[in-house]
Amino acid sequence: MAAVETKTERGPRNGVDTPKLFATINIVKSQPELARFQFRATNRWIKGANSRSRLEKFKGAGGEHAHQGECVYDADHPAVLVGDDTAPTPVEFLLHALASCLTAGIASVAAARGVTLTEVRSTIEGDINLLGVLGLSDTVRNGYERIRVSFDVKGDAPAEKLKQIVEQSKARSAVYDVLTHGVPVEVAVNAG
Amino acid sequence: MAAVETKTERGPRNGVDTPKLFATINIVKSQPELARFQFRATNRWIKGANSRSRLEKFKGAGGEHAHQGECVYDADHPAVLVGDDTAPTPVEFLLHALASCLTAGIASVAAARGVTLTEVRSTIEGDINLLGVLGLSDTVRNGYERIRVSFDVKGDAPAEKLKQIVEQSKARSAVYDVLTHGVPVEVAVNAG
């Protein structure tokens, strides 16, 4: 009976192929070099604040991988910020990245812990004072001053367990890590 | 002649409405509270690692503003990372955000400095070791270890001036600031 329960808990859940997840973790444990990934994008300026990125093949698990479909995304500035509003602003994509990373983690952690989720929704807000970007202040930073995420999570577990799942997702989120701790960025220029 | 030259330099250029940009800066200089913006997104989990964000109305310049069109973006994990690859990964959207923010800045700074650009292209790579995310190491971080951006910039100015334009864009980029310095992120949970 206990064995059956364990098997049930480790079966696919929340759309997460939990057996494959555990198998992947075991393979990487014995071959840690498979964990080295590189994601890539190319970007082309169009006009004004509008540019277009293409998410390219990525490297990892010992090979090169292409996404199934075309992954092309524009960004722009809104009219109130002297853009053409053909697409969202770059900073809004940070909000999408953060919400989607934490949410993917919640689904995976819940599956690994045998919890079936019925709903994960979030709202996310980023406060930014444009005195920095506009060059009108040397004390106001250019980027967001703070970001707030609020999750509504429903599933077949007590509230406390659901909250622990969100905590664990936060503790292992790549985007949360980058946004809260920063990352070294090198910028090279070929001009002429 | 000097006045005409100045006027020419300050006219619209690179698709950037430079007179409007300078007017905006002057208005904000006298009413700095107009510079306070808040960007917002909502996200809904779909299945597995797949979720969908909607970029909502944003607040700023003393009002609420809606984007012209629907701004809805999915994210997922690729098959090699136990996802369905219905969309790019959350961390890839960080690359799009960074490339597009720096590129918008390059076009604006160039316009303000009277430089006409003919091309701005970039490639961007992010290295990530998934031993962190997979919980297989306490010393490997969850997020990118480093990000590299390489720009090709062409325009009617010497290489040195074009490089200075990229430098100034970096110095005033909201996304570059957030990614290199981090930002406080609060996560709240309603569970049940």
Q: What confidence tens digit (pLDDT) does each residue in B64-98 have?
A: 999 999 999 999 999 999 999 999 999 999 999 99
pLDDT at B1: 36
- On whether any CB of chain B is under 8 Å from the CB of A75, the answer is yes
- DSSP assignment, residue A171? H
Give pLDDT, residue B11: 83
pLDDT digits (tens, 9 = 90+) for B102-158: 999 999 999 999 999 999 999 999 999 999 999 999 899 999 999 999 999 999 999
CA pair distance A38, A134, nearest whole angstrom = 33
| Residue B6, pLDDT above cutoff 50 | no
Percentage of chain A exceeding pLDDT 90:
92
Q: Do A24 and B82 touch (CB under 8 A)?
A: yes
Residue B3: what pLDDT?
Answer: 38
- The four Cα atoms B159, B161, B162, B165 give a dihedral, to 10 degrees, of 160
Predicted pLDDT at B4: 39
Q: Does A114 touch chain B (CB under 8 A)?
A: no
Looking at residue A107, what is its pLDDT?
Answer: 98
Which residue of chain A has the CA closest to B167?
Answer: A187
**pLDDT band of A1, cuts 50, 70, 90:** very low
Q: Please provide the distance, in angstroms rounded to a whole number, between the alpha carbons at the two ends of chain A.
A: 71
The strand pairing partners of A50, in sequence order, are: A47
Measured between its terminal Cα atoms, the distance across chain B in Å is 71
- Grouping H, G, I as helix, E, B as strand and the rest as coil, residue A149 is strand
pLDDT at B192: 82
Of B32, B144, B149, the CB nearest to A187: B149
Give the minimum alpha-carbon distance from B84 to chain A in angstroms, rounded to a whole number: 9
User: In the predicted model, is pLDDT for residue B2 greater than 60?
Assistant: no
Query: Tell me: the pLDDT tens digits for A101-138?
Result: 999 999 999 999 999 999 999 999 999 999 999 999 98
Task: At B103, list the tokens.
Answer: 């590129």
- pLDDT beyond 50 at A3: no
Q: How near does any CA of chain B get to the CA of A110, in Å?
A: 10
pLDDT at A147 over 50: yes
Q: What is residue B7's predicted lDDT score, i.e. its pLDDT? A: 45
Q: Is B89 exposed, middle or buried (0-12, 13-18, 19+ CB in 10 A)?
A: buried
By the CB < 8 Å criterion, does A116 face chain B? no
Any CB–CB contact under 8 A between A59 and chain B?
no
Q: Tens digit of pLDDT for each residue in A21-79?
A: 999 999 999 999 999 999 999 999 999 999 999 999 999 999 999 999 999 999 999 99
Taking CB atoms and an 8 Å cutoff, what residues of chain B touch A143? 174-178, 181, 183
Confidence of residue A192 (pLDDT cuts 50, 70, 90): confident
Quick: pLDDT tens for B29-62: 999 999 999 999 999 999 999 999 999 999 999 9
> Confidence class of residue A4 from pLDDT cuts 50, 70 and 90?
very low
Q: Does A9 touch chain B (CB under 8 A)?
A: no
Closest-CA residue of B relative to A38 is: B127
Helical pair B174-181 and B90-112, crossing angle rounded to 10 deg: 130
pLDDT of residue B47: 97
Q: What is the mean pLDDT of residues B16-21?
A: 94
User: Does the pLDDT at position A6 exceed 60?
Assistant: no
